[in-house]
Amino acid sequence: MELAFLNAVYTSGGPYACACLDTSGEDGRPRGPVSTGADGGPGGPGAPRSQRICQALAAQGADAATVDAVRQAADGERAVAGRHGRMIVASRGQVLLAEELPEPPARDEATVTALPDLVPLAVQHAPGIRYVAACAYGLTGAPGESPDLVEVAFQAGTWPSSAVAPGDRYRMRGPAVGRLSAAGPIADSVTALARGSGAEVIVLGGAEPARDALADQLVERWRKRLVLSGGGDGGGDGCGEGYDDGRGDGQAAPAPAGMPDAHAQAAAAPAPDRALMERELAEVFRDGLGTADEARLELFQARRPSGHGAVEGIAGVVAALQRSQVATLLLNVPLRFPAHHHVSAWVTGKGLPESAPEPYGLLGFREGPVGAAVLRAAVCTGAGLVVVPRQRLALADGLGALLRYAGPERTPHFSRPARR
């Protein structure tokens, strides 16, 4: 998984005002921006969410412009039904990051810090698998007979972040059988969206006859990347809900780029609040990794016995990050970092090199909790991240790294004298 989406946070330099909110809806309904918390958090149990958060930030020394930026980001949260959270990071009057969280925090938090802890956010973005979900079902037709029409709803996303921040949802309909069957044109549209979004996999669900007819029309390349999901029979989880393109004029919105002009018309709806086939996607991608991350993990496991090109443990990873040597950071979940230990305990206490990190953009590398400091170093040196379930591969201290090159001798800190 790439970490470039965190670059803007660390470029600022801080100090940072951070807020992590539980914005879950109640009874499946979106939660309003001024709903109160039952935990009696900052500002008292009767205060609006943004007011309580901002009072806590101001009490910790955040400047007025930054507090106001956090307030606007909290009040401007997009209405999303179900369980979810939101993380906001601001500095010097600007919001640097405002991201939806598929899983909400245990309670609302507001902190002013020199080094924000973005590990929970990064973990919730993993595995970052790009996909297209398609739900097919038949319309009309007598029981036990072939339906007269087939309709397919489909949507591209990146799992799991798209669960609460989905993209456009498309819908196509056409004859189910015969010479004018719409299965072929619809399959072409689904694959066009998959190509355009860089999807690794197509997840196909819905009623079995319509689903299988659509699967048969996919080109061979995408059949190899196809996952058939049970459930999604058109009665729930967004597969068969009423459709409204939000235009109010009865006309179809533009189709995605590359979609063929077929007799089955396509329409794009405004992004709904939850992903299409969310429950099915959660099952398909449970403990899974993207193709590139799977290859990186296999390479780490191959190098691990010799230690040549791979390290693990906090001390080894910190040393490699100091040398800008890490290509991919491996992180175990559930997280078990020592919460009250700063990374300086490993930089100085383990006898690691006392090199100045400034040339690599790692200012403040020795400050802050282990997880926060290590993630910042990974982002600033262009490293990627692979989040690995502990039951699949247990790492020393929950940390490992795949190196860009083996051995430290090619860095300024370990330069060899030139041969004469």
| 185, 174 Cβ separation under 8 angstroms | yes
Q: What pLDDT, in 10s, does the model give residues 28-43?
A: 555 555 444 444 444 4
Q: Cite the DSSP H helix spans in 272-333.
A: 278-284, 291-303, 314-322
Whole-number pLDDT of residue 384: 95
Can you give the C-alpha Rg of the chain in angstroms?
25
Q: Is 98 left (phi over 0), alpha (psi -120 to 50) or beta?
A: beta
Average pLDDT of 350-371? 55
- Is 289-347+362-409 assigned to CATH 3.30.1330.30? yes
Q: What's the fold here for domain 129-231+270-285?
A: Nucleotidyltransferase; domain 5 (3.30.420)
Q: Which helix (H) or strand (E) holds 39?
A: none
pLDDT tier for residue 406 given thresholds of 50, 70 and 90? confident
Q: Which of 20-34, 162-176, 335-349 has the highest mean pLDDT?
A: 162-176
Task: Give the C-alpha distances (Å, rounded to integers) separating 241 from 96, 204, 378.
Answer: 36, 17, 43
Nearest by Cα to 49 from 113, 112, 108 = 108
DSSP letter (8 states) at residue 249 = S
Say which residues have a Cβ less than 8 Å from residue 246's Cβ, sequence separation at least 6.
253, 269, 270
Question: Is residue 24 a contact partner of residue 80, using CB atoms and an 8 Å limit?
Answer: no
Distances, alpha carbon 183 to alpha carbons 58, 213, 238, in Å: 58, 6, 20
Q: pLDDT band for position 142 (50/70/90)?
A: low
Range from 34-48, 165-179, 182-196, 203-217 carrying the lowest mean pLDDT: 34-48
User: Model confidence at 242, in pLDDT bands (50, 70, 90)?
Assistant: very low
pLDDT per residue as tens digits for the range 46-99: 446 778 899 999 999 999 999 999 999 988 766 777 888 999 999 999 999 999
Of 243-252, 258-267, 338-347, give the lowest mean pLDDT range: 243-252
What pLDDT was estimated at residue 194?
96
Q: List CB contacts of 308: < 8 A, sequence separation 6 or more.
A: 406
Mean pLDDT of 324-344: 84
| Confidence label for 349 from pLDDT (cuts 50, 70 and 90) | very low
The Cα–Cα gap between 100 and 373 comes to 22
Residue 161: per-residue pLDDT: 93
Q: Which residues contact residue 106 at a Cβ distance below 8 angstroms, ignoring those fewer than 6 apart?
A: 22
Residue 357's pLDDT band, with cuts at 50, 70 and 90, is very low
189, pLDDT greater than 60: yes
Lowest mean pLDDT among 139-153, 338-352, 354-368: 354-368
What pLDDT digit, counting tens, does each position of 195-230 carry? 999 999 999 999 888 898 899 999 889 999 999 987
Q: What's the half-sphere exposure (Cβ side, CA atoms, 13 Å) at 102?
A: 19
Measure Cα distances from 69 to 48, 286, 305 in Å: 16, 36, 49
Distance CA 43, CA 38 (A): 12
Domain boundaries, the chain: 1-27+49-122, 129-231+270-285, 289-347+362-409
Q: Residue 420's CB: how many other CB atoms inside 10 A?
A: 3
The Cα-based distances of 276 to 167, 170, 217, 287, 412 in angstroms read 10, 10, 21, 20, 51
Please say if the pLDDT value at position 405 is more than 80. Answer: yes
Higher pLDDT, 36 or 272: 272
pLDDT, residue 253, reads 35
Buried/exposed 298-336: b ≥16 CB within 10 Å, e otherwise: eebeebbeeeebbbbbbbbbbbbbbbbbbbbbbbbeeee
CA dist 99 to 45, 78, 158, 346, Å?
25, 11, 14, 31
User: What is the distance between the alpha carbons of residues 242 and 343, in angstroms, rounded to a whole number?
Assistant: 52
β-pairing, 226-228 vs 201-206, is: parallel
pLDDT at 10 over 60: yes
The answer to whether domain 129-231+270-285 and domain 289-347+362-409 are alike in fold is no
For residue 335, give both structure tokens.
């997280």
pLDDT, tens digit, for every residue of 274-312? 899 999 999 999 989 999 999 999 999 999 999 899 999
